[in-house]
Amino acid sequence: MTELTSEAQSTIGARVAAARRNRGMTQRDLAHALGVSSWTVDRIESGTADGGRYLSSIADVTHANREWFATADGAGQRRTRGSVVPHLGVVGRNLVLGSIVLLVTIRFFTEVVPVLPRAANFIDIPIFLVIVLAAMSMTSSRPGPAYLRVGLPAAAFLVLAIASATINSDRALPAPVLVFVYGFLAPFAVYAAIYRIWPPGSAGSLSRVLVWLGLLQLAIVALIDLPRFAPSGNPDLISGTFGTNAYQLVFFLLVVATLLFGIFTLEPRRKVARFVPFLILAIFAVILLAQYRALLATTVVTMLVVSILLGTRLRGVLVAILAVLAFGVAFSYVAASFPGLRLEATATTLTQSPSTYAIQRYQATRPVAGLYRDYPLAIAVGSGPGTFSSRAWQTFANADSTSTSNVQGAYAQRLTGGAYETDVSKKYVAPQRQEGAVIEGSRALSSPHSSYLGLAAEVGLLGLALVVGVYLAALLRSFRIARREIADAIFGDPVPALALATTIGFLTLLQMGFLENWLEVTRITFIVWAIFAVVTKEIDSRSAAAS
């Protein structure tokens, strides 16, 4: 290879720096993508090192023309800035980040400070369409790994849902069927689309957005929710920017808390790292105030998983100790100050008789068992999408509800022509809803609603296995990525902390899906699958650059 002159090296270095900045990447981001040190990237950009050998990889990472790096004029640069880089880089990144911000905050502006119409709560549908269309607009000779990971089980599930709707056409109406399919398959499509449009090397921007959104939750709780909660003691008022849904706030804060644990351990130079002990204490307090008692066990499991993954590092050990102390302090204070939340009773049951909850949840499977006994074909194809107890069924069956959170009711009634019920829901689900036991002030454990029960009843055991299998595979993959990246992490790399947060996100989703229909709550599942897409895209890009 011909040795470059110092002038040529300076030209290449300046344009490498320009291409990197156009992509929104730091030197560390580019170094990770190339599999080299930040010092090497700095020397290339300053013109003191020959960057010729890396130009092909740099061009791939920054989506710039390889020839432009060594040209004397700026024509190539103008073409890159005008088309390739902004379209594939900055625009793709901002589309993903903007979508996450909208999903997290929209209900605040429709329900708490209602400056937007309630119909804006359906923002996930246009977000889904825009992201998928953006991915489809990109030219590619072959599908990426993301499509192969979720494509086959998603296609099999779609075929099964169509077959089930056809066989049960006497009770399965088109609108509930479409809502059912969208609820379960849209997150997979979002994952594949974001994997395609996300620009490698921009993981730090996603981490910062999630942290800021977490801080926003704490600010809203402190300034708006707590003053309303104090006189009433109603835990449903602790909801942050999630409007009337406190449970979504709890889930999101668990993900953010895990991300903060990772930042404290692996990105100690970030400004937020020094405030992590105080933020974790505040987050645990908010989670307990929101009274989603069923997640107490999940919170403990979260701390255990975080300790296992981060425990190989000294700061990780400190994080584990910090988590236990913060949770203990928050629990003691909230339980003593707000006895109406019944936290101590829940903790006592969990520690002294944990089988109580499992037994009660097992009793909730009786409607599905009755369906299988009376209609054996349902074991294979179910009773039809949106006909039994899924979220799709609830959307239409509860369309006449007067609840302030029932935005979709009027639309649902128009689609089905009025009140909606099916023979199987009337026979098996309605009695369980009315007669289910109240356990420590809640019917959650005796409720017939859960993603697992809904899938098993409406598309059979194969449908259940397909969806839960994809989620379990995603959990295991994110866990393996987190373990490997944490073990080999370079301080300052945002990817390991994001991988850790994704692991907890899937772990929590799977547990929430056991209790309610959370695997089809697009507002939450979109966010987890989006983070997972970013993590896998970053990892795959680094592997490709290293090879």
Residue at 436 is within a domain: yes
Question: By the 8 A CB rule, do 256 and 210 touch?
Answer: yes
pLDDT of residue 326: 87
Alpha-carbon distance 81 to 85, whole Å?
5
| pLDDT for residue 507 | 94
pLDDT at residue 263, rounded to an integer:
94
Contact 505, 467 (CB under 8 A): no
194 occurs within a structural domain: no
pLDDT for the residue 372? 96
Domain boundary among 39, 73, 107: 73
Per DSSP, 443 falls in state: -
3-state secondary structure of 398: coil
Residue 351 domain-assigned? no
Can you give the length of the chain in residues? 547
Give kind and range of the element (H or E) at residue 85.
helix 85-85
Structure tokens at 288: 């307990």
In 86-223, the DSSP E strands lie at none
User: Is position 168 within any domain?
Assistant: no
What is residue 84's predicted lDDT score, i.e. its pLDDT? Answer: 36
CATH number for the domain harbouring residue 68: 1.10.260.40
Low-confidence ranges of the chain (pLDDT < 50): 1-2, 72-87, 141
426: in domain: yes
The packing angle between helices 409-416 and 174-197, to 10°, is: 120
pLDDT for 77 equals: 39
Among candidate residues 430, 456, 482, the one where a domain is terminated: 456
pLDDT at 61: 79
Provide the phi-psi class of 437: left if phi over 0, else alpha when psi is between -120 and 50, else beta.
beta
Say whether pTM exceeds 0.85. no
The rounded radius of gyration (Å) of the Cα atoms in the chain is 25
Question: Where a domain ends, among 399, 429, 456?
Answer: 456
Quote the domain boundaries for residue 10: 6-73
Whole-angstrom distance, CA of residue 396 vs CA of residue 406: 11
Q: CA angle 445-450-452, nearest 5°?
A: 120
Buried b (16+ CB within 10 A) or exposed e, 191-205: bbbbbbbbbbbbbbb
The answer to whether residue 83 is domain-embedded is no
Q: Specify the number of domains making up the chain.
A: 2
**What is the DSSP code string of 220-270?**
HIIIIIHHHHHHH--GGG--TTSTT-HHHHHHHHHHHHHHHHHHHHH-TTS
The pLDDT of residue 354: 65
Cα dihedral 447→449→453→455 (10° resolution) = 180
Under 8 Å between Cβ of 243 and 287 = no
Query: Cα–Cα distance between 65 and 59 in angstroms, integer?
Result: 6
Token pair of 463, please? 């449908």
Which is nearest to 288 in space by CA: 223, 212, 229, 244?
229
